[in-house]
Structure 1
């Protein structure tokens, strides 16, 4: 598994196609949180939204880097398509970890805040929830499921709008509603359990759907 993760990381880095989603992530944070002096919980909701977009795009990019022939060779060498898919998911999540650090620290540098430990933990959890959700969306909309990426892109946009705007829907809309409620970060940490659980379930379901579809195609 470690070798597969290293392989996916190498392919992603060499392709340099991670640059666009990463630049989008940083740009959104700078635009949305620059000179902000409001509650950090609300500020981190913007960072979490940027992470949702970035993780979706990054996952779709990662899943579409290999052509069908190349992927078949990797699957045979790995001993099964499920191992390759799980390694891809791990790579996507690992790629989001340094971005989470940026998303937690950058608003403190370009805004005016007096953070406490609960603020930082809440910001990291919010981005983790959105990263898990974004990876799930990116998987089911990737080239491994949709050969014609136009369809995958339309579905990705529809899913992102749904999870963001559907009132009270976990994990994303429920998370944003809590973060924008005006409560202290320490009071909101317990409320992240439901969105985090829902995001994990979404990732498992997204992985399972992708595996079923790709196994049939292979």
Structure 2
């Protein structure tokens, strides 16, 4: 599995399609924290809301990095769709967790308000939850569940856009509500757990569809 993860990660890096979500992430983060972003947990709400669609985008990039023929070769060489989809999920999660750590550290360095260790780890949990939720949504509609990249992008975009107005009905809403009201809530860990379950469910759905 380690070799497969390394191969898929190298393929994503070689294709350079990850640059688009990365540059959008860095650009928006720069705007969010170019001035006083408010109290620590409130400041994290903006970057958490941003990380959700960016992680979904990253997941789609990872899942579609190979064309159909190359992916079939990879599936045969790896021993089946289950291994390939699990490895793809791990790669997408790793990429997204790097962004989650960066998003957690960024305001600590740039925001004039001092951060305690507790606030930092709360922010890290919030970003991790949003990252996992985004990866889960991205993988849920990627190959082999949907074979067309166009349909994948449309489905992921629709789900991401519709998530925000639902508020506290969704795990993303739990995170944004807690951070927006500058309070620590057990729902942050609930969002992390929900994200992990969604990623696992996306892998299972892909295996069954294949």
Deviation at 1:203, TM superposition (A): 1.6
Partner of 2:121: 121
Quote the RMSD (CA, aligned, Å): 1.6
- Contact 2:174/2:188 (8 A) holds in 1: no
Change over 3 Å in CA distance of 1:80–1:33 after alignment to 2: same
In structure 1, the gaps of 5 or more residues are none
Counterparts of residues 167-178 of structure 1 (less than 5 Å): 167-178=167-178
Counterparts of 2:85 and 2:206, CA distance in 1: 8
Counterparts of residues 1-80 of structure 1 (less than 5 Å): 1-80=1-80
Deviation at 1:189, TM superposition (A): 4.9
Of 185, 190, 198 in structure 2, the residue corresponding to residue 202 of structure 1 is 198
After superposing on structure 2, the runs of 4+ consecutive aligned residues of structure 1 that deviate more than 4 Å are none
Partner of 2:109: 109
Partner of 1:146: 146
- Contact 1:29/1:107 (8 A) holds in 2: no
Stretch moving more, 139-148 or 81-90: 139-148
Counterparts of 1:78 and 1:178, CA distance in 2: 42
TM-score by length of 2: 0.93
Deviation at 1:86, TM superposition (A): 0.3
Deviation at 1:143, TM superposition (A): 4.0
In structure 2, the gaps of 5 or more residues are none
